[in-house]
Structure 1
Amino acid sequence: MSELRWDPLKLHWVIIATERGRRPRDFQTEPEALPMTSCPFCYGNEDKTPPEIYASRPSGLPNAANWQVRVIPNKYPALRVEGDLDNRGYGPYDVMNGIGAHEVIIETPDHERSMADLTPAELTEVLIAWRTRLLDLRRDFRFRYMILFKNHGARAGATLAHSHSQLIAVPMLPPVAATELKVCRKHYADKERCLFCDLIAFELEQGSRIVREFANYVTLAPYASSFPFELKLYPKQHAHDFALMNDAQLAELAVALRDMLLRVKLVLKDAPYNFILHTCPPMHRRPGKPGLWSSLEYDYHWHIELVPRLTSIAGFEWGTGFYINPTSPEDAALFLREAEV
């Protein structure tokens, strides 16, 4: 029988439609090729991108070859750094200028390698680039939130095949982040415990939804997974801010992240996916809000969320806010756990 499961973080219901019972092979499709005659992210094409903001390279001049990871402004940004917000009313609506930042993290100079193909040392350099850019952007008082995400494959929204992730800073708190932060703050106010820590402890005790456990990280399929083979990667010890992780912690995270990406690539035959780094917002003081973020260090827990793009959202989902997941998280975790990585 199907089950309705409540997600205490996103505050929505999920239908786990076990009768549909779909296995990994039921989702396998041929990857969609992205047309490209000359890739601007490859070695030797540095002049085809905007000037770099950050690069990891053993030696050499900026905007030249010999780099491992390169960060550039998005050539077609959703938001721009220059200008003032000018937050204003427009009848019953609110409007402000499109101020923010939109950056691209090119994860490898090799066009043929995906993020799952990178070594732990190479992935560590990517994570260091993420941390560096987050720390820099949060210095801008206009930015209220930074979202770091990756689109892998055409069905997941990637327009270039070359492995890259993106970082967007926005001047307001997005609804998804606002809900998660509000829920965590209330849980801490009521119980003086981190909700994430409670969930992680329960999942480790249960075991059926654990994909892989490391000394300080764990990958699991959430109890109320909205999508087939949805995954979350958590630090096991409480930590509210990804940008405060040191190099050793990032090196261990690189091993756990690579393991998760490899399992998804092997089991789902390199299916398209999105992943998002959820971390705390900049803890800027705001006029008239002295208590803002006062418990954030204790109530929030950063994490990475990965969603393979195997099903589509249709009328029922749009009309109700419910999601129908044809593969139980217990089965998804089992398939991924048994993969030989």
Structure 2
Amino acid sequence: MPELRRDLISYQWIITGTQSEEEFFSSLNPKPKEAGVECFFCEGNETKTLPEIYSIRKFDTRPNTPGWQVRVVPSKAAVFTIEGDVGKVGRGIYDMMNNIGAHELIIESPKHIKNIAELPPEQILLVLKVYQTRLRDLNKDERLKYALIFKNQRPKSPVRYGHTHSQLAALPLTPKAVKDELISAKNYFSYKERCLFCDIIHQEQRDKKRIVEENPDYISFVPFAAKFPFELSIMPKKHNADFRAESESSLKNLAQILKISLSKISLVLNDPPLNYILHTIPYMRPKPEYWKTIHSDFHWHIEIYPQISEITGFERGSGCYIQPLLPEICAKLLLDK
């Protein structure tokens, strides 16, 4: 069974043991995919995935049959297992726990479309509503502390992996990258009594150099200190720490700006592979007082990272990223599309 182990130096939790030796070395030299391989995610192939957890579908259709609009299924390559106890223990000076959690695939369209930006805004709205539903449902599991929604978009992937989908990973811990953001926001609020993210939005609106798209509810911009070329942040203009609390009217505008932002990246970079990540508040247990100002100091957001360059040894060793293009140049190129 896979395990979660904590590195004492970086204080990061590492997931280890998800593959056997044979599986690992096979993945280094994958067999070429045959032409005409069917996609398990397309409508009509419902029996070729694991049984669905949730779906938005036509009124008179049954689970695991055609007629759905957005469908959620467990991942066959799940990083986490939903059964069992967390079992956090010490092994000498090291901490470890069982790999308890959930790993779900959110299939965003019954049609074989590779890029979510090709979906109409009303379909993207359904995807966002499913995000909310799954985040709320997993909050009922007392073992879980954080749920991360993310996308690994690979438009040029083999057929069965290219169908547009995102993933949800629910963990028995708050990941270090998220906790670092939470602590940074908390410290900023303690010092200035203002939300760090709200201040960033106001600064970007004053500077007018890095904004790519804006609507009544949301802003999309290249961060001032972007780590990667054409990196984007999407934030709600109205302060809100919890994505689950967004109204349907707000989500409509989020669907619009997400589609436009991703479309611009596709046009400028010729449909590159990318990741996007949704950071919202953790499930606040067992110590809700630890985050007592979180609804005032944190601000949920989406981070978009086109994968067009590799991380160098210097960047890995120093934590200092080299961004070849000025963020202002990236923003202008995106804005012009």
- Calculate the TM-score normalised by the size of structure 1: 0.86
SS at match of 1:307: strand
Which residue of the partner structure matches residue 225 of structure 2?
224
Distance 1:252 1:209, change over 3 A: same
In 1, Cα distance between equivalents of 2:38 and 2:167: 20
Residues 122 and 61 from structure 1, CA distance in 2 versus in 1: closer, same or farther, beyond 3 angstroms? same
* Alpha-carbon distance between aligned partners in 1 of 2:138 and 2:158, rounded to the nearest angstrom: 24
Q: Which residue of 2 aligns with 1:325?
A: 323
Aligned-pair CA distance for 1:269: 0.8
Displacement of 1:247 in angstroms is 1.2
Matches within 5 A, 1:80-159: 80-153=81-154
> What secondary structure sits across from 2:322 in the alignment?
strand
Alignment partner, residue 30 of structure 2: none
Aligned to 2:52: 52
CA distance in 2, matches of 1:167, 1:112: 20
Distance 1:86 1:93 in 2: 14
Task: Count residues in correspondence.
Answer: 305
Q: Distance in 2 between matches of 1:157 and 1:93?
A: 40
Letter in 2 for 1:172: L
Between the aligned residues of both structures, percent identity stands at 44
Deviations, residues 86-124 of structure 1 (Å, cap 9, x unaligned): 100011111111100000000001113520011111110
Question: Partner of 1:26 in structure 2?
Answer: none
* CA RMSD after TM alignment: 2.0
Unpaired segments ≥5 residues, structure 1: 1-32
Contact 1:285-1:292 within 8 A present in 2 as well: no
Deviation at 1:36, TM superposition (A): 6.8
Q: Aligned equivalents of 1:79 and 1:303: distance in 2?
A: 24
| C-alpha distance in structure 2 between counterparts of 1:181 and 1:269, whole Å | 34
Equivalent AA in structure 2 for residue 49 of structure 1: T
SS at match of 2:64: coil
**Number of the residue aligned with 2:181:** 180
Whether contact under 8 Å (1:149, 1:274) holds in the other structure is yes
In 1, Cα distance between the equivalents of 2:175 and 2:42? Answer: 33
User: 1:283 Cα deviation (Å)?
Assistant: 2.2
1:285, distance to aligned residue in structure 2 (A)? 3.9
1:155, CA displacement in angstroms? 8.6
Distance 1:186 1:242, change over 3 A: same
CA distances 1:132-176 after superposition (whole Å, capped 9, x unpaired):
000001111111111100001179999701100000001111110
Structure 2 CA distance for aligned equivalents of residues 158 and 235 of structure 1: 34
- 1:309 matched to 2:319: no
Q: Which residue of 1 aligns with 2:42?
A: 42
Cα offset, 1:72, TM superposition: 0.5
Q: Is the 8 A contact 1:83 1:99 kept in 2?
A: yes
CA contact (8 A) 1:34 1:161 kept: no
Which residue pairs with 1:202 in the alignment? 203
The whole-number CA distance in structure 1 between the counterparts of 2:48 and 2:165 is 16
Asked if residue 74 in structure 1 is aligned to residue 75 in structure 2, the reply is yes
Paired residues of 2:148 and 2:277 also in contact (CA < 8 A): yes
Q: Secondary structure at the match of 1:291?
A: helix
Q: Distance in 2 between matches of 1:159 and 1:66?
A: 20
Change (3 A) 1:197 1:103: same
2:281 matched to which residue of 1? 280
